[in-house]
Amino acid sequence: MKLHRITTNNNPRWRLNIAFCLASVFPTWVMAQTPAVEYKTLDERELRSCLFIADDQLRLRCFDGATGRSAVVKDGTTPAAVAELDGGFLLFKQPLDTQLSWFDRRWELDPSSKQGKFQVRPYKPVYLLPLYFNNTPNKRPSSPNPLNRVESDQDIDSEEVKFQLSLKTKVLENVVGDNGDVWFGYTQSSRWQVYNNELSRPFRETNYEPEVMFTWRSSWAEFADTTGWNPRLLGLSLNHQSNGRSLPLSRSWNRLIGMVGFERQDTTFQVRPWVRFQEDEADDDNPDISDYMGRVDYLLVHKTQGHEISLLARHNNKFSANSRGAVQMDWAFPIRSNLRGHVQFFSGYGESLIDYNHRSDYLGMGVSLVGWY
Protein backbone atom coordinates (compact mmCIF):
# COMPACT_ATOMS: atom_id res chain seq x y z
CA MET A 1 0.00 0.00 0.00
CA LYS A 2 1.35 3.42 -0.99
CA LEU A 3 1.18 6.40 1.27
CA HIS A 4 0.49 9.72 -0.36
CA ARG A 5 1.40 13.00 1.19
CA ILE A 6 -1.47 15.40 1.70
CA THR A 7 -0.59 18.88 0.57
CA THR A 8 -2.17 21.52 2.75
CA ASN A 9 -0.58 24.69 1.41
CA ASN A 10 -0.65 25.87 5.01
CA ASN A 11 -4.44 26.08 4.80
CA PRO A 12 -6.04 25.40 8.24
CA ARG A 13 -9.32 24.25 6.64
CA TRP A 14 -7.97 20.72 6.13
CA ARG A 15 -7.82 20.30 9.90
CA LEU A 16 -11.47 21.30 10.19
CA ASN A 17 -12.46 18.88 7.41
CA ILE A 18 -10.78 15.97 9.17
CA ALA A 19 -12.32 16.95 12.51
CA PHE A 20 -15.81 17.03 10.99
CA CYS A 21 -15.26 13.61 9.42
CA LEU A 22 -14.17 12.12 12.74
CA ALA A 23 -17.07 13.77 14.55
CA SER A 24 -19.55 12.22 12.17
CA VAL A 25 -17.99 8.75 12.19
CA PHE A 26 -17.26 8.42 15.94
CA PRO A 27 -20.90 8.45 17.23
CA THR A 28 -21.83 5.81 14.64
CA TRP A 29 -18.97 3.59 15.83
CA VAL A 30 -19.94 4.05 19.51
CA MET A 31 -23.58 3.15 18.85
CA ALA A 32 -22.44 0.00 17.05
CA GLN A 33 -20.55 -1.08 20.19
CA THR A 34 -23.51 -0.38 22.54
CA PRO A 35 -25.85 -3.28 23.47
CA ALA A 36 -29.60 -3.18 22.89
CA VAL A 37 -31.10 -0.46 25.05
CA GLU A 38 -34.43 1.04 25.91
CA TYR A 39 -35.53 4.30 27.52
CA LYS A 40 -36.55 4.53 31.12
CA THR A 41 -38.61 7.66 31.75
CA LEU A 42 -38.45 9.21 35.19
CA ASP A 43 -40.57 12.01 36.57
CA GLU A 44 -39.05 15.20 37.98
CA ARG A 45 -41.09 14.66 41.18
CA GLU A 46 -39.00 11.59 42.00
CA LEU A 47 -35.88 13.74 42.00
CA ARG A 48 -37.49 16.46 44.13
CA SER A 49 -38.55 13.92 46.77
CA CYS A 50 -34.88 13.13 47.41
CA LEU A 51 -34.09 16.73 48.41
CA PHE A 52 -35.76 16.34 51.81
CA ILE A 53 -33.72 13.35 53.01
CA ALA A 54 -31.32 14.52 55.71
CA ASP A 55 -28.98 11.52 55.74
CA ASP A 56 -26.28 11.95 53.06
CA GLN A 57 -25.99 8.25 52.22
CA LEU A 58 -29.73 7.72 51.97
CA ARG A 59 -30.13 10.87 49.90
CA LEU A 60 -27.46 9.64 47.47
CA ARG A 61 -29.23 6.30 47.18
CA CYS A 62 -32.48 8.10 46.52
CA PHE A 63 -30.92 10.13 43.69
CA ASP A 64 -29.31 7.00 42.27
CA GLY A 65 -32.69 5.32 42.22
CA ALA A 66 -34.51 8.34 40.80
CA THR A 67 -32.03 8.87 37.96
CA GLY A 68 -31.75 5.20 37.08
CA ARG A 69 -28.13 4.82 38.19
CA SER A 70 -29.03 2.04 40.63
CA ALA A 71 -30.39 0.08 37.67
CA VAL A 72 -27.37 0.52 35.38
CA VAL A 73 -24.66 0.10 38.01
CA LYS A 74 -24.41 -3.49 39.12
CA ASP A 75 -21.63 -5.59 40.67
CA GLY A 76 -19.17 -2.72 40.40
CA THR A 77 -19.49 -2.39 36.61
CA THR A 78 -21.19 0.37 34.65
CA PRO A 79 -22.66 -0.59 31.25
CA ALA A 80 -22.81 1.96 28.49
CA ALA A 81 -25.51 4.46 29.36
CA VAL A 82 -26.56 7.77 27.89
CA ALA A 83 -28.53 10.43 29.79
CA GLU A 84 -30.72 12.92 28.00
CA LEU A 85 -33.08 15.66 29.13
CA ASP A 86 -36.36 15.84 27.25
CA GLY A 87 -39.32 17.98 28.27
CA GLY A 88 -38.48 17.96 31.99
CA PHE A 89 -37.93 14.18 32.11
CA LEU A 90 -34.63 12.45 32.61
CA LEU A 91 -34.22 9.63 30.12
CA PHE A 92 -31.71 6.89 30.86
CA LYS A 93 -30.75 4.35 28.26
CA GLN A 94 -29.96 1.07 29.97
CA PRO A 95 -29.32 -2.53 28.88
CA LEU A 96 -32.43 -4.69 28.92
CA ASP A 97 -30.97 -7.29 31.30
CA THR A 98 -30.51 -4.73 34.11
CA GLN A 99 -34.21 -3.93 34.49
CA LEU A 100 -35.62 -4.59 37.94
CA SER A 101 -38.42 -7.12 38.32
CA TRP A 102 -41.69 -6.47 40.16
CA PHE A 103 -40.41 -8.27 43.27
CA ASP A 104 -37.13 -6.32 43.13
CA ARG A 105 -39.03 -3.03 43.03
CA ARG A 106 -41.33 -3.91 45.93
CA TRP A 107 -39.00 -5.99 48.13
CA GLU A 108 -35.54 -4.68 47.09
CA LEU A 109 -34.19 -8.16 46.45
CA ASP A 110 -31.47 -7.36 43.93
CA PRO A 111 -28.35 -5.58 45.31
CA SER A 112 -28.92 -2.75 42.81
CA SER A 113 -32.44 -2.17 44.17
CA LYS A 114 -31.46 -1.65 47.83
CA GLN A 115 -32.79 1.66 49.22
CA GLY A 116 -31.64 1.49 52.84
CA LYS A 117 -33.39 1.05 56.18
CA PHE A 118 -36.20 2.88 57.97
CA GLN A 119 -37.83 4.33 54.89
CA VAL A 120 -41.56 3.97 54.32
CA ARG A 121 -42.37 1.59 51.47
CA PRO A 122 -45.66 0.38 49.95
CA TYR A 123 -46.91 -2.99 51.11
CA LYS A 124 -50.47 -4.00 50.25
CA PRO A 125 -52.86 -1.87 48.13
CA VAL A 126 -54.08 1.46 49.49
CA TYR A 127 -57.63 2.30 48.41
CA LEU A 128 -60.90 4.02 49.28
CA LEU A 129 -64.22 2.43 48.25
CA PRO A 130 -67.07 4.90 48.96
CA LEU A 131 -69.53 2.38 47.53
CA TYR A 132 -69.22 -1.00 49.22
CA PHE A 133 -72.26 -3.26 49.12
CA ASN A 134 -72.81 -6.43 51.19
CA ASN A 135 -75.69 -8.66 50.09
CA THR A 136 -76.08 -10.46 53.46
CA PRO A 137 -74.85 -8.40 56.45
CA ASN A 138 -73.82 -10.35 59.54
CA LYS A 139 -76.23 -8.88 62.08
CA ARG A 140 -75.52 -11.41 64.82
CA PRO A 141 -71.79 -12.35 64.92
CA SER A 142 -71.06 -15.63 66.69
CA SER A 143 -68.25 -17.93 67.75
CA PRO A 144 -67.96 -21.37 69.41
CA ASN A 145 -66.79 -19.51 72.51
CA PRO A 146 -69.98 -18.51 74.41
CA LEU A 147 -68.32 -15.24 75.50
CA ASN A 148 -68.07 -14.16 71.86
CA ARG A 149 -71.69 -14.50 70.80
CA VAL A 150 -73.97 -11.54 70.11
CA GLU A 151 -77.45 -12.27 71.48
CA SER A 152 -79.52 -9.76 69.47
CA ASP A 153 -79.51 -8.45 65.92
CA GLN A 154 -77.47 -5.35 65.14
CA ASP A 155 -78.89 -2.57 62.99
CA ILE A 156 -76.41 -2.80 60.09
CA ASP A 157 -76.86 -1.36 56.60
CA SER A 158 -75.86 -3.25 53.48
CA GLU A 159 -74.06 -0.17 52.11
CA GLU A 160 -70.93 1.17 53.74
CA VAL A 161 -67.48 2.61 53.00
CA LYS A 162 -64.33 0.50 53.01
CA PHE A 163 -60.73 1.74 52.99
CA GLN A 164 -57.32 0.17 53.49
CA LEU A 165 -53.93 1.61 54.49
CA SER A 166 -50.75 -0.43 54.29
CA LEU A 167 -47.02 0.26 54.59
CA LYS A 168 -43.74 -1.35 55.53
CA THR A 169 -40.19 -0.36 56.42
CA LYS A 170 -36.93 -2.27 56.38
CA VAL A 171 -35.28 -2.64 59.79
CA LEU A 172 -32.36 -4.91 58.86
CA GLU A 173 -30.63 -5.21 55.49
CA ASN A 174 -28.35 -7.93 54.09
CA VAL A 175 -28.44 -10.13 57.17
CA VAL A 176 -26.41 -12.83 55.35
CA GLY A 177 -23.89 -11.34 52.91
CA ASP A 178 -25.83 -9.34 50.32
CA ASN A 179 -29.09 -11.20 50.96
CA GLY A 180 -31.82 -11.42 53.59
CA ASP A 181 -33.82 -8.39 54.81
CA VAL A 182 -36.09 -7.93 57.83
CA TRP A 183 -39.21 -5.76 57.41
CA PHE A 184 -41.92 -4.44 59.69
CA GLY A 185 -45.32 -4.15 58.01
CA TYR A 186 -48.64 -2.72 59.06
CA THR A 187 -52.04 -2.96 57.36
CA GLN A 188 -55.34 -1.50 58.53
CA SER A 189 -58.69 -2.00 56.82
CA SER A 190 -61.97 -0.40 57.97
CA ARG A 191 -65.69 -0.79 57.22
CA TRP A 192 -67.53 2.44 57.97
CA GLN A 193 -71.33 2.63 58.18
CA VAL A 194 -71.26 6.21 56.96
CA TYR A 195 -74.76 5.99 55.44
CA ASN A 196 -76.32 4.65 58.68
CA ASN A 197 -77.99 7.71 60.25
CA GLU A 198 -79.78 5.74 62.96
CA LEU A 199 -76.52 4.55 64.54
CA SER A 200 -74.66 7.87 64.06
CA ARG A 201 -72.45 6.45 61.29
CA PRO A 202 -70.21 4.10 63.34
CA PHE A 203 -67.18 2.12 62.21
CA ARG A 204 -68.59 -1.39 61.99
CA GLU A 205 -65.25 -3.20 61.85
CA THR A 206 -61.56 -2.30 61.69
CA ASN A 207 -58.83 -4.93 61.39
CA TYR A 208 -55.28 -4.19 62.55
CA GLU A 209 -52.45 -6.32 61.16
CA PRO A 210 -48.85 -5.72 62.26
CA GLU A 211 -46.19 -8.22 61.20
CA VAL A 212 -42.45 -8.85 61.07
CA MET A 213 -41.22 -10.35 57.80
CA PHE A 214 -37.96 -11.92 56.66
CA THR A 215 -37.41 -11.91 52.89
CA TRP A 216 -34.79 -13.74 50.87
CA ARG A 217 -33.74 -13.39 47.23
CA SER A 218 -34.01 -16.69 45.41
CA SER A 219 -33.23 -18.07 41.96
CA TRP A 220 -33.79 -21.51 40.49
CA ALA A 221 -32.63 -21.41 36.88
CA GLU A 222 -33.73 -24.96 36.02
CA PHE A 223 -37.29 -24.32 37.24
CA ALA A 224 -37.45 -21.00 35.40
CA ASP A 225 -36.18 -22.55 32.15
CA THR A 226 -38.70 -25.40 32.38
CA THR A 227 -41.82 -23.50 33.43
CA GLY A 228 -41.11 -19.90 32.44
CA TRP A 229 -41.75 -18.81 36.06
CA ASN A 230 -38.84 -17.46 38.08
CA PRO A 231 -39.05 -18.30 41.84
CA ARG A 232 -37.70 -14.95 42.94
CA LEU A 233 -38.94 -14.43 46.52
CA LEU A 234 -38.83 -16.49 49.71
CA GLY A 235 -40.25 -15.16 52.97
CA LEU A 236 -41.37 -15.88 56.51
CA SER A 237 -43.67 -13.70 58.62
CA LEU A 238 -44.85 -13.42 62.23
CA ASN A 239 -48.35 -12.04 61.83
CA HIS A 240 -50.92 -10.71 64.31
CA GLN A 241 -54.42 -9.68 63.28
CA SER A 242 -57.19 -8.40 65.52
CA ASN A 243 -60.16 -6.03 65.53
CA GLY A 244 -59.33 -4.39 68.88
CA ARG A 245 -62.85 -4.79 70.27
CA SER A 246 -64.17 -6.00 73.60
CA LEU A 247 -66.38 -9.01 74.25
CA PRO A 248 -68.50 -10.31 72.64
CA LEU A 249 -67.15 -8.75 69.40
CA SER A 250 -63.45 -9.43 70.01
CA ARG A 251 -61.66 -11.43 67.29
CA SER A 252 -57.95 -12.14 66.85
CA TRP A 253 -55.34 -14.70 65.82
CA ASN A 254 -51.56 -15.09 65.45
CA ARG A 255 -49.83 -16.91 62.61
CA LEU A 256 -46.47 -17.99 61.20
CA ILE A 257 -46.74 -17.41 57.45
CA GLY A 258 -44.44 -18.74 54.74
CA MET A 259 -44.17 -17.03 51.37
CA VAL A 260 -42.94 -18.10 47.93
CA GLY A 261 -43.14 -15.67 45.01
CA PHE A 262 -42.86 -16.44 41.29
CA GLU A 263 -42.75 -13.96 38.43
CA ARG A 264 -43.09 -14.10 34.67
CA GLN A 265 -42.82 -10.89 32.66
CA ASP A 266 -45.74 -8.72 33.87
CA THR A 267 -47.31 -11.39 36.10
CA THR A 268 -46.52 -12.49 39.66
CA PHE A 269 -47.82 -15.43 41.66
CA GLN A 270 -47.45 -15.88 45.43
CA VAL A 271 -48.28 -18.81 47.69
CA ARG A 272 -48.58 -18.20 51.45
CA PRO A 273 -49.25 -21.19 53.72
CA TRP A 274 -49.55 -20.55 57.45
CA VAL A 275 -49.79 -22.20 60.83
CA ARG A 276 -51.87 -20.64 63.59
CA PHE A 277 -50.48 -20.31 67.11
CA GLN A 278 -53.06 -21.98 69.33
CA GLU A 279 -54.47 -20.18 72.36
CA ASP A 280 -56.06 -21.38 75.59
CA GLU A 281 -59.56 -22.59 74.80
CA ALA A 282 -61.17 -20.31 77.38
CA ASP A 283 -59.41 -17.22 75.98
CA ASP A 284 -59.74 -18.04 72.28
CA ASP A 285 -62.15 -15.59 70.62
CA ASN A 286 -62.46 -17.76 67.51
CA PRO A 287 -61.20 -21.34 68.00
CA ASP A 288 -62.38 -22.51 64.57
CA ILE A 289 -61.08 -19.55 62.54
CA SER A 290 -58.71 -21.70 60.43
CA ASP A 291 -61.64 -23.76 59.17
CA TYR A 292 -63.16 -20.61 57.65
CA MET A 293 -60.33 -18.12 57.00
CA GLY A 294 -58.20 -20.94 55.64
CA ARG A 295 -54.65 -22.21 55.99
CA VAL A 296 -53.17 -20.90 52.74
CA ASP A 297 -53.77 -18.14 50.22
CA TYR A 298 -52.78 -17.64 46.58
CA LEU A 299 -52.23 -14.24 44.95
CA LEU A 300 -52.04 -13.73 41.19
CA VAL A 301 -51.27 -10.20 39.93
CA HIS A 302 -51.03 -9.04 36.32
CA LYS A 303 -50.09 -5.54 35.14
CA THR A 304 -50.59 -4.20 31.63
CA GLN A 305 -50.67 -0.64 30.26
CA GLY A 306 -51.28 0.90 33.69
CA HIS A 307 -53.98 -1.61 34.66
CA GLU A 308 -53.49 -3.99 37.59
CA ILE A 309 -55.70 -7.06 37.98
CA SER A 310 -55.30 -9.28 41.04
CA LEU A 311 -56.96 -12.49 42.19
CA LEU A 312 -56.63 -13.56 45.84
CA ALA A 313 -57.93 -16.98 46.93
CA ARG A 314 -57.97 -18.55 50.43
CA HIS A 315 -58.76 -22.14 51.37
CA ASN A 316 -58.82 -24.30 54.50
CA ASN A 317 -57.20 -27.30 52.76
CA LYS A 318 -60.25 -29.47 53.31
CA PHE A 319 -61.93 -31.02 50.28
CA SER A 320 -65.16 -32.39 51.67
CA ALA A 321 -68.38 -30.95 53.04
CA ASN A 322 -66.20 -28.73 55.26
CA SER A 323 -64.36 -27.15 52.31
CA ARG A 324 -64.40 -23.37 52.82
CA GLY A 325 -62.54 -20.31 51.65
CA ALA A 326 -62.90 -17.05 49.76
CA VAL A 327 -62.05 -15.30 46.50
CA GLN A 328 -61.31 -11.61 46.03
CA MET A 329 -60.72 -9.90 42.70
CA ASP A 330 -59.43 -6.32 42.33
CA TRP A 331 -59.09 -4.21 39.21
CA ALA A 332 -57.23 -0.88 39.32
CA PHE A 333 -57.19 1.27 36.19
CA PRO A 334 -55.48 4.62 35.50
CA ILE A 335 -57.37 7.89 35.87
CA ARG A 336 -54.73 10.60 36.29
CA SER A 337 -51.17 10.57 37.57
CA ASN A 338 -51.05 8.12 40.53
CA LEU A 339 -54.85 8.16 40.99
CA ARG A 340 -56.56 5.01 39.76
CA GLY A 341 -60.11 3.76 39.69
CA HIS A 342 -60.67 0.64 41.76
CA VAL A 343 -63.25 -2.14 41.63
CA GLN A 344 -63.31 -4.98 44.21
CA PHE A 345 -65.39 -8.15 44.40
CA PHE A 346 -65.31 -10.57 47.33
CA SER A 347 -67.14 -13.85 47.80
CA GLY A 348 -66.80 -16.33 50.65
CA TYR A 349 -65.93 -16.42 54.34
CA GLY A 350 -63.94 -13.90 56.35
CA GLU A 351 -64.12 -10.60 54.49
CA SER A 352 -63.26 -9.20 57.95
CA LEU A 353 -62.47 -10.83 61.30
CA ILE A 354 -65.92 -10.22 62.76
CA ASP A 355 -67.33 -12.13 59.77
CA TYR A 356 -64.72 -14.89 59.79
CA ASN A 357 -67.41 -17.62 59.86
CA HIS A 358 -70.05 -15.69 57.88
CA ARG A 359 -70.40 -16.18 54.14
CA SER A 360 -71.32 -13.20 51.99
CA ASP A 361 -70.69 -11.40 48.69
CA TYR A 362 -69.33 -7.85 48.47
CA LEU A 363 -68.94 -5.37 45.61
CA GLY A 364 -67.02 -2.13 45.99
CA MET A 365 -66.09 0.81 43.74
CA GLY A 366 -63.76 3.70 44.40
CA VAL A 367 -60.16 4.84 43.91
CA SER A 368 -56.69 3.60 44.84
CA LEU A 369 -53.27 5.20 45.18
CA VAL A 370 -51.07 2.12 45.61
CA GLY A 371 -51.41 -1.34 44.09
CA TRP A 372 -49.60 -4.59 44.71
CA TYR A 373 -46.76 -3.47 42.39
Active site residues: 240, 242
CA–CA distance, 246 with 263 (Å, rounded to integer): 42
CA-to-CA dists, residue 170 to 63, 121, 183, angstroms: 19, 8, 4
- Which residues are CB-contacts of 48 (< 8 A; sequence separation ≥ 6)? none
DSSP secondary structure string for all residues of 18-40: HHHHHHHHHHHHHHHHSPPEEEE
Other beta carbons within 10 Å of 124: 19
105 DSSP 8-state letter: H
Q: How many residues does the chain have?
A: 373
- Contact assessment for residue 307 and residue 340, using Cβ atoms and an 8 Å cutoff: no
Return the amino acid letter for 53: I
Residue spans of beta strands (DSSP E) within the chain: 37-42, 83-86, 89-95, 120-122, 126-134, 159-172, 181-192, 203-217, 230-242, 252-264, 267-276, 296-304, 307-315, 325-336, 339-349, 359-370
* Planar angle of CA 272, 316, 218, nearest 5 degrees: 15
CA–CA distance, 106 with 213 (Å, rounded to integer): 14
- Which residues are CB-contacts of 19 (< 8 A; sequence separation ≥ 6)? none
